[in-house]
Amino acid sequence: MNFAPRYLGRGSWLARRDPRVLVLAVVFFVFAAIQVWDIRLVALLLVLALAYYRSARIPFREVRRQWFIAILFVSLLVFGNGIFASGRVQRLPDGAVQHIYGYLPLLGTPISAESVTFALTQFLRFMAMIAIGFPLAFAIDPAAFGVTFARLGVPYRFAYAIDLTWRFIPSFAADFRTTMDAQRVRGMDLGERVGGPLARLRRQVPILVPTIVNAIAGAEDTIDAMDLRAFGTGRRTWIRELRLDPTDRVVLLAFVALFVVATVAGFTTSSSFLWIPPFLIPS
């Protein structure tokens, strides 16, 4: 049974970094990106994020489903925001006038050069954040999650809870697949689509019940094992030691500098406002 997430970035340049660097890189990058609204700078952030992601050497064939879901979710989020915002565009300079192309049928939402730029900027920003965040799941040794957050100052109880959760999810998924295979061997037709949603849900009971029961039993075993080791009676130590090497410090300082530059630029330049590409503005 697989008790750990897929360590797809094993041996890569990014996987050799101190795992705290990968966590802090996401934090500083996200806080820097949310301050930038100039689409040219956001595109530059996306290029940096993709270069960072590529250094993890995560095989695309192994994560293409995750990328598809992420792109689909971001697309729906941006599109839905554009509709429900009724064409209102944020981060425009004072006195700016929207250049409207037309209106959506029925809804009457205006489509303008500014709203298109706003949507593209949001899309590029979200994709940059996803590219920066993916190595957290696939380029950190799963056994290092607990000590990583503990060394970042998270209370050891929460750090251990994060570690256990990270191990529990793939274990639960493996139990679910094993139960499905066992039910197929017993003649259960999982491809049958007769009936409505409730009927389909009832047919999943022979799979869900054993999986949930096994998960609860496994959780109780873990609790008993922790009680036998006197967990919670005193501060715990971690067998793995984390040390920042010179390369780790350079990478971390680069992300800190990115955050500082984005913050200062937001107050001193127009980077915190939308920049409308001239070719989008109707003549």
Q: Does residue 4 belong to any structural domain of this protein?
A: no
Q: Are 171 and 179 in contact (CB under 8 A)?
A: no
Instruction: Please write the tens of the pLDDT for every residue from 158-208.
Output: 777 777 777 777 777 778 888 888 888 877 766 666 666 677 777 777 788
Mean pLDDT estimate for the chain: 83
Q: Does residue 50 belong to any structural domain of this protein?
A: yes
Position 171 scores a pLDDT of 75
DSSP label at 279?
G
First to last CA, the chain: 63
Q: How confident is the model at residue 29 (pLDDT cuts 50, 70, 90)?
A: very high
Rg of the chain (C-alpha set): 24
Q: Does residue 10 belong to any structural domain of this protein?
A: no
Q: State how far the Cα of 233 lies from the Cα of 262, in Å rounded to an integer.
A: 44
Q: Are 113 and 276 in contact (CB under 8 A)?
A: yes
Q: Does residue 215 belong to any structural domain of this protein?
A: yes
What is the span of the domain harbouring residue 43?
19-280
With tokens 């094992």, the residue in question is: 225
Q: Are 174 and 43 in contact (CB under 8 A)?
A: no
Position 4 scores a pLDDT of 46
- Least confident segment among 107-111, 121-125, 252-256: 107-111
Domain count within the chain: 1
Instruction: Please write the tens of the pLDDT for every residue from 113-140.
Output: 888 888 899 999 999 999 999 998 888 8
Q: What are the φ and ψ backbone dihedral angles of 164, each rounded to 5 degrees?
A: -65, -40
Q: Does residue 182 belong to any structural domain of this protein?
A: yes
Position 190 scores a pLDDT of 66
Q: Does residue 40 belong to any structural domain of this protein?
A: yes
Q: State how far the Cα of 266 lies from the Cα of 259, in Å rounded to an integer.
A: 11
pTM across the whole model = 0.79
Q: Does residue 35 belong to any structural domain of this protein?
A: yes
Q: Does residue 3 belong to any structural domain of this protein?
A: no
Q: What are the φ and ψ backbone dihedral angles of 111, each rounded to 5 degrees?
A: -110, 120
